[in-house]
């Protein structure tokens, strides 16, 4: 069965993303077409990128990198839950993505974003990052504006539209993750590396 990670990218104290990611995971747990796991970047304590060699070489020196690599490599696809900070992604998420390379290759990526404008500009940047990491990003995305999906701009209260949109994101990520299996060997290794 396909394995999909819901990756929570904000590590900020008081982050709204935890409620969003927990809700997305609860919605995913109701599905029978893939196994989902919630991966919180904050749980890995990744410092600013401190590996001396490029990630593509897979010559990891630090235990935190090895643990992050092991966690990420086992998945067939990802749904990134991201805030929008200054028209882009949280630094912690970008940093976590930069730590690895092969682990992301030939896997599907979908996006759930939140912010004043729904986090759409963060997703625009994530799509470029995903392309460089050889991920196939799906068209569907869920954008959650603070004014309509968060009571008093703070408490997450997802609408019926959000539920439907999230389902579409999951559908597309699962379909693409399955289609990309032919490009991956067992264990998530790309035959070209």
**Token digits for 89?**
């992604």
**Could you give the C-alpha distances from 191 to 37, 181, 185, 188, in angstroms and in order?**
25, 11, 6, 9
Helices (H), 32-119: 63-73, 91-98
Q: Mean pLDDT throughout 76-98?
A: 97
Task: Indicate if the pLDDT at residue 181 is higher than 70.
Answer: yes
pLDDT at 184: 86
Output the six-digit token pair for 105: 């290759």
3-state secondary structure 102-142: HHHCCEEEEEEEEECCCCHHHHHHHHHHHHHCCEEEEEEEE
The percent of residues in the chain predicted with pLDDT above 90, rounded, is: 95
Cα pseudo-dihedral 93, 95, 100, 103, rounded to 10? 0
Q: Measured between alpha carbons, how far is 140 from 26 in angstroms, rounded to an integer?
A: 19
Quick: pLDDT tens for 39-67.
999 999 999 999 999 999 999 999 999 99
- Joined together, the tokens standing for residue 111 give 């996006």
What mean pLDDT comes out for the span 10-24? 97
Q: pTM of the predicted model, to two decimals?
A: 0.94
Q: From CA 5, how far away is CA 182, in angstroms rounded? A: 19
Query: Which domains are seen in the chain, by residue range?
Result: 3-183 (3.40.50.360)
Mean pLDDT of the 1-15 span = 97
Q: Report the pLDDT averaged over residues 22-51.
A: 98
Which residues on adjacent β-strands are paired with residue 115? 145
Residues 76/177, Cβ–Cβ less than 8 Å: yes
């Amino acid at each position: 069965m396909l394995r999909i990670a819901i990756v929570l990218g904000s590590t900020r104290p008081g982050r709204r993303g935890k409620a969003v990611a927990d809700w997305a995971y609860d919605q995913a747990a109701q599905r029978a077409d893939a196994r989902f796991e919630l991966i919180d970047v904050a749980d890995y304590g990744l410092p600013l990128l401190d590996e001396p060699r490029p990630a593509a070489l897979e010559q990891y020196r630090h235990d935190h990198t090895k643990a992050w690599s092991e966690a990420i490599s086992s998945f067939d696809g990802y749904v990134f839950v991201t805030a929008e900070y200054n028209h882009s992604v949280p630094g912690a998420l970008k940093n976590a993505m930069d730590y690895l390379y092969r682990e992301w290759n030939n896997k599907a990526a979908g996006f759930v974003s939140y912010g004043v404008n729904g986090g759409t500009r963060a997703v625009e940047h994530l799509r470029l990052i995903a392309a460089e990491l050889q991920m196939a990003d799906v068209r569907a995305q869920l954008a959650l504006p603070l004014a309509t999906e968060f009571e008093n701009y703070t408490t997450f209260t997802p609408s019926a539209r959000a539920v439907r949109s999230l389902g579409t994101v999951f559908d597309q990520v699962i379909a693409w993750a399955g289609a990309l299996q032919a490009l991956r060997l067992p264990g998530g290794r790309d035959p070209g590396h």
